[in-house]
Amino acid sequence: PVQTPLAGKTIVITAGPTREKIDPVRFLTNHSTGKMGYAIAAEARRLGAKVCLVSGPVTLTPPAGVETTNVESAEDMYQAVVEKFNDADVVIKTAAVADYRPKKTYDSKMKKQEGGQSLELERTKDILFELGQKKKHQLLIGFAAETDQVEEYARKKLIKKNADMIVANNVKQEGAGFGTDTNIVTIFKKDGSQVNLPLMTKTEVATYLLNEVANQLKKEELK
């Protein structure tokens, strides 16, 4: 039988890195390839959800049957996600969004000069935080990419961002984080509980996470 525990649900998933423009030839970015987010999008579709994927620049092909919006900067991603937020039942923020962008962007290539150069940065919007403020019925799930004190930082993010779950990965761990086909995650939930998952493929992580999501949605419906 076809498994459709997410039938009738709309899920917005963000994936990939953002690019923050410096000039026409340069930008700031990070190592996200979109693999984690695209795996969640494909699984969510397979489990029957209507899936809106908001993707930063990656080389992956969007999964079949998924509505994809391509964005570049953190600001673009914010606009695209907010536009879809009211109709969403679940938002999963896998994207590695820039926390800073160049304060000034140049329309012409910056020319080399003698000596050093510094770049002034300003904060981007924290999309997850903003969604946490706007949240009504939506289930809000963030990721946390950490290199140290994973549990402490993940629990802080859960509270500060008003999220229902935070999926933490230690990106220094072999087989976890950026670029790999596998991940090692711990899911922190609002009720204080946590699930430590072993090394799994990103598809297996997606299946596990979406099962948690389906259970949580069912609980909310019974309330």
Residues that bind ligand PMT (CB under 6 A): 32-36, 74, 93-97, 99, 124, 126-128, 142-145, 157, 169, 171, 177-179
Helix H, strand E, coil C: the string for the chain is CCCCCCCCCEEEEEECECCEEEECCEEECCCCCCHHHHHHHHHHHHCCCEEEEEECCCCCCCCCCCEEEECCCHHHHHHHHHHHHCCCCEEEECCECCCEEECCCCCCCCCCCCCCCCCCEEECCCHHHHHHHHCCCCEEEEEEEECCCHHHHHHHHHHHCCCCEEEEEECCCCCCCCCCCEECEEEEECCCCEEECCCEEHHHHHHHHHHHHHHHHHHHHHC
Our CB check for ligand PMT shows the closer of 90 and 145 to be 145
30 is catalytic: yes
Set 30, 70, 162, 211: catalytic member = 30
Our CB check for ligand PMT shows the closer of 10 and 180 to be 180
Our CB check for ligand PMT shows the closer of 69 and 169 to be 169
* Residues designated catalytic: 30
